[in-house]
């Protein structure tokens, strides 16, 4: 079956692109009264002004709102989980991987929960952070079809340069909110992202029709459930408890920072040794024997006798600031989730969000630590970042990586940047000089 997105073109976006870009530059520079803003559609102009007033960054990648584990749990219980096959059938018929567009489904807050479709486009849009778990509300990224459709409670098309965030301006998108069929409250949104084919009048009709079909399906499923009470298990309705979250920040830090949420949430700076122990327990969820934990933290010599009194001191620290993280024994293990910013970066790389991952990679894991386990983790994270960017990242991300401490002396990275730069780019001379200096 041919894709509904094929062979549809709209040249109007290209003809007005320069005018829109100039108007955007003036607004971001603080010239909100510049007459060139009148060249921009009122819907877009007002959205830009909301973003500017909300101090939204014009070049910042979208924030990650859901970790991989949170995303998986949330998707299972979200009302739109049961209609995903319908979404695929309506918006990604035929071979979804070669559809020419990306289809995203998100929640009422603008967080993307599912991102599917054309494999090549997903790889490219992933670089700007268009991946599951990211926040695409207007408050996070400014003008975009997903966030603006939710803000206005109606379907919206945003073409290229109309996006507030410059990272998103190579793309166009159409989105529509999805409502609860009875209360009419917004439960989520659907979005189609791609080239100009994603913002044709036919695209908006198709997305609108898909949203209405989803609402009808939600109502049918609800009525069916009510008609068969004998098959339902009735449970008392109760508020879902919000679990406290804890994050260990170790990237680019000599002393780790432990952040906890909840009523007793806060931040505490850990000693180097306590950071090493807690990091090893966070990355070995199955638990570690005293001997193995001692080897990872201290090395093989007399490690157990040195470890045990340090564990006592660590427990005392955690009992005051994060009692849920006090390690259990035999084996040593954490009984509550502890995220790390290092694992977060690797998860972003796995989702294809290269630019977001690079922004989150603030340096090596505990750079001054000589613990064997930390050194191994440091090398694995550094290697994961390097290999993912070399294999899949676009030129802008590679150039940004080449300006970091890890990428500055990497000849392979510099050569790949040089290979991808246009022949007359002014950056070529600097890259050639750096390569010659490293190889000379």
Is residue 235, in this structure, part of any structural domain at all? no
Percent of the chain with pLDDT over 90: 61
Indicate if 113 and 175 belong to the same structural domain. yes
212's CB contacts (< 8 A; 6+ apart) are none
pLDDT in tens, 312-325: 999 999 998 889 99
CATH number of residue 281's parent domain? 1.10.10.10
Indicate if 319 and 352 belong to the same structural domain. no
Indicate if 201 and 223 belong to the same structural domain. yes
Helix axes 42-53, 12-28, angle to 10 degrees: 30
Indicate if 68 and 134 belong to the same structural domain. yes
Indicate if 399 and 271 belong to the same structural domain. no
Indicate if 432 and 346 belong to the same structural domain. yes
Indicate if 128 and 219 belong to the same structural domain. yes
pLDDT band at 3 (very low <50, low <70, confident <90, very high): low
Indicate if 251 and 220 belong to the same structural domain. no
**Range(s) of the domain holding residue 263:** 246-339
Q: What is the pLDDT of residue 417?
A: 93
Mean pLDDT to the nearest integer, 375-397: 92
User: Is the pLDDT reported for residue 207 higher than 90?
Assistant: yes
Is residue 238, in this structure, part of any structural domain at all? no
In the chain, the number of structural domains is 3
Indicate if 211 and 350 belong to the same structural domain. no
Indicate if 296 and 201 belong to the same structural domain. no
User: Is the pLDDT reported for residue 265 higher than 90?
Assistant: no
User: Is the pLDDT reported for residue 397 higher than 70?
Assistant: yes
Give the β-pairing of 339-340 and 246-249.
parallel
CATH number of residue 119's parent domain? 3.30.450.40
Burial 159-186 (b: 16+ CB within 10 A, else e): bbbbbbbbbbbebbbbbbbbbbbeeeeb
pLDDT in tens, 328-365: 988 999 999 899 999 989 988 888 888 888 988 999 99
Is residue 181, in this structure, part of any structural domain at all? yes
The DSSP result for 396-432, as a single string, is: HHHHHHHTSHHHHT-HHHHHHHHHHS-TT-THHHHHH
Is residue 5, in this structure, part of any structural domain at all? no
Q: What is the pLDDT of residue 4?
A: 58
Indicate if 308 and 412 belong to the same structural domain. no
Is residue 88, in this structure, part of any structural domain at all? yes
Is residue 390, in this structure, part of any structural domain at all? yes
> 423 versus 236: which is more confidently predicted?
423
Is residue 371, in this structure, part of any structural domain at all? no
Supply angle C-alpha 326, 337, 245, rounded to 5: 95
pLDDT in tens, 63-115: 888 888 889 889 999 999 999 999 999 998 777 667 789 999 999 999 999 99
Indicate if 255 and 347 belong to the same structural domain. no
Q: What is the pLDDT of residue 174?
A: 97
Is residue 2, in this structure, part of any structural domain at all? no
């Amino acid at each position: 079956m041919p894709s509904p997105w094929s062979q549809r073109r709209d040249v109007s976006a290209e003809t007005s692109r320069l005018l829109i870009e100039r108007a955007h530059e003036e607004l971001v520079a603080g010239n909100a009264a510049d007459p060139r803003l009148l060249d921009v559609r009122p819907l877009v102009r007002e959205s830009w002004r909301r973003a500017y007033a909300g101090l939204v960054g014009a070049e910042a990648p979208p924030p990650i709102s859901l970790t991989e584990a949170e995303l998986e749990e949330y998707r299972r219980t979200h009302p739109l989980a049961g209609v995903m096959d319908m979404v695929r059938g309506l918006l990604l018929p035929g071979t979804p991987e070669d559809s020419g567009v990306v289809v995203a489904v998100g929640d009422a807050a603008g967080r993307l929960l599912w991102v599917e479709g054309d494999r090549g486009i997903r790889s490219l849009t992933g670089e700007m952070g268009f991946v599951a778990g990211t926040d695409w509300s207007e408050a996070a990224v400014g003008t975009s079809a997903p966030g603006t459709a939710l803000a206005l409670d109606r379907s919206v098309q945003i073409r290229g340069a109309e996006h507030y965030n410059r990272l998103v301006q190579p793309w166009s998108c159409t989105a529509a909110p999805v409502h609860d069929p009875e209360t009419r409250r917004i439960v989520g949104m659907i979005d189609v992202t791609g080239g100009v084919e994603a913002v044709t009048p036919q695209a908006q009709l198709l997305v609108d029709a898909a949203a209405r079909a989803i609402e009808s399906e939600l109502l049918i499923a609800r009525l069916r459930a009510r008609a068969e009470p004998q098959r339902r298990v009735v449970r008392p309705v109760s508020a879902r408890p919000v679990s406290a979250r804890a994050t260990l920040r170790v990237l680019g830090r000599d002393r780790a920072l432990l952040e906890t949420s909840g009523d007793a949430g806060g931040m505490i700076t850990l000693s180097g040794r306590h950071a090493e122990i807690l990091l090893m327990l966070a990355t070995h969820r199955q638990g570690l024997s005293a001997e193995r934990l001692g080897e990872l933290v201290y090395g093989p010599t007399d490690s157990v006798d040195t470890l045990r009194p340090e564990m006592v001191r660590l427990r005392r620290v955690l009992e005051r600031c994060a009692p849920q993280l006090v390690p259990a024994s035999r084996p040593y293990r954490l009984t509550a989730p502890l995220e790390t910013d290092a694992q977060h970066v690797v998860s972003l790389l796995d989702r294809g969000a290269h630019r977001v991952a690079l922004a989150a990679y603030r340096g090596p894991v505990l750079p001054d630590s000589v613990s064997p386990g930390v050194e191994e983790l440091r090398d694995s994270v550094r290697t994961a970042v390097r290999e993912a960017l070399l294999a899949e990242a676009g030129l802008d991300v590679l150039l940004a990586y080449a300006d970091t401490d890890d990428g500055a002396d990497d000849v392979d990275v510099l050569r790949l940047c040089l290979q991808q730069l246009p022949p007359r780019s002014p950056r070529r001379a600097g890259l050639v000089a750096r390569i010659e200096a490293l190889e000379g």
